[in-house]
Amino acid sequence: MKAGKPDAALRVGFVASDTPEAQAAAARLTEIYGACDPDEADIVVALGGDGLMLQTLHRFMGRETPIYGMNRGSIGFLMNEFSEVGLVERLSAAQRSVVHPLLMIAHDIHGEEFRAWAINEVFLSRQTYQAAKIRVYVDGEVRLKELIADGIMVATPAGSTAYNLSANGPILPLNAPLLALTPISAFRPRHWRGALLPDHARLRFEVLEAAKRPVNAVADHTEVLSVAFVDIALDRSVGLVMLHDSGHSLDERILRAQFGY
């Protein structure tokens, strides 16, 4: 392999958000390293922020194509630092993190069924000024007869530092066999702060008074309006591969987040 040129056997594809910064980075990296169609690539390099990373993971869901993100956005928790130098070497040395998404099966008040996958979280939220009333089942057993709140979510370890954290949910190590069940602005039970569940748990959220107190369900970027009940479980048949530079793996970032940096 010549310096500054990619290994001919490694097919690299680039995807970028529509910001000028990300588009310029994609053009420059393609000029330096060349590129192939992302759908035919061995590794896909995503240039943008965490939103683009999630979109790219969803796009390649089921293919097990490794995704290596470089931050050309704002937060970039899931991304590596951007650099034009040594990309092929970084890809070759990168550490793999494999995560499984949540499968949401939602039924609306009209009896329609919708399926969507979530890498970060599935959450229910009220549509109107009235608080939602939700019954929570875990493995077919009622665990919370009536939650009165703005909503509720279940988050994966990979998503525990996102919306879950902002709702005062716990940060989970990436390899922890757990899911975080977190209320959103709970009113009753007043002192309930959520639960940690084994990642093989199967959940159902049943919306009480669904016509009077309409609730939406969201799996990452997919929203279903006016749901009656929602079933959620980890889908182990799907593995999503993220690549991170040595010393900056996703589990290391999650660990650092627990100490406030």
CATH of the domain at 62: 3.40.50.10330
Q: Is the pLDDT of residue 75 over 90?
A: no
- Assess if residue 93 is contained within a domain: yes
Instruction: Write out the DSSP string of 12-29.
Output: EEEEE-SSHHHHHHHHHH
199: amino acid identity, one letter? D
Based on the fold, state whether residues 226 and 184 are members of the same structural domain.
yes
Based on the fold, state whether residues 199 and 120 are members of the same structural domain.
yes
Q: What is the mean pLDDT of residues 126-153?
A: 97
Q: What is the mean pLDDT of residues 45-74?
A: 93
Q: What is the mean pLDDT of residues 39-55?
A: 94
Domains of the chain: total: 2
> What range defines the domain where residue 82 resides?
12-99+239-257
**Residue whose C-alpha is closest to residue 174's, from 124, 122, 242:** 242
Based on the fold, state whether residues 143 and 164 are members of the same structural domain.
yes
Based on the fold, state whether residues 170 and 191 are members of the same structural domain.
yes
Q: Is the pLDDT of residue 9 over 70?
A: yes
> Residue 175: its pLDDT value, please?
84
Catalytic residue among 50, 108, 220, 231: 50
Give dist(CA 53, CA 58) in Å, integer.
9
Q: Which is more confident, 75 or 138?
A: 138
For residue 189, is the peptide bond before it cis, meaning its omega torsion is within 30 degrees of 0? yes
> Residue 260: its pLDDT value, please?
67
Based on the fold, state whether residues 229 and 123 are members of the same structural domain.
yes
- Assess if residue 112 is contained within a domain: yes
For residue 1, what pLDDT band results from cuts at 50, 70 and 90? very low
Contact by Cβ (8 Å): 26, 69 = no
- Assess if residue 4 is contained within a domain: no
Give dist(CA 27, CA 43) in Å, integer.
17
- Assess if residue 79 is contained within a domain: yes
List of residues 6+ apart from 248 with CB closer than 8 A = 80, 81
Written as six digits, the tokens of 240 are 């999503």
For residue 11, what pLDDT band results from cuts at 50, 70 and 90? very high
Q: Is the pLDDT of residue 7 over 60?
A: no
Give dist(CA 257, CA 249) in Å, integer.
12
Written as six digits, the tokens of 195 are 């639960």
- Assess if residue 5 is contained within a domain: no
Based on the fold, state whether residues 126 and 162 are members of the same structural domain.
yes
Q: Does residue 42 carry a catalytic annotation?
A: no
154-188 pLDDT, tens digit per residue, is 999 999 999 999 999 999 988 899 999 999 999 99
Give dist(CA 242, CA 61) in Å, integer.
12
For residue 261, what pLDDT band results from cuts at 50, 70 and 90? low
- Of 181-185, 199-203, 237-241, 254-258, give the lowest mean pLDDT range: 254-258
Based on the fold, state whether residues 229 and 112 are members of the same structural domain.
yes
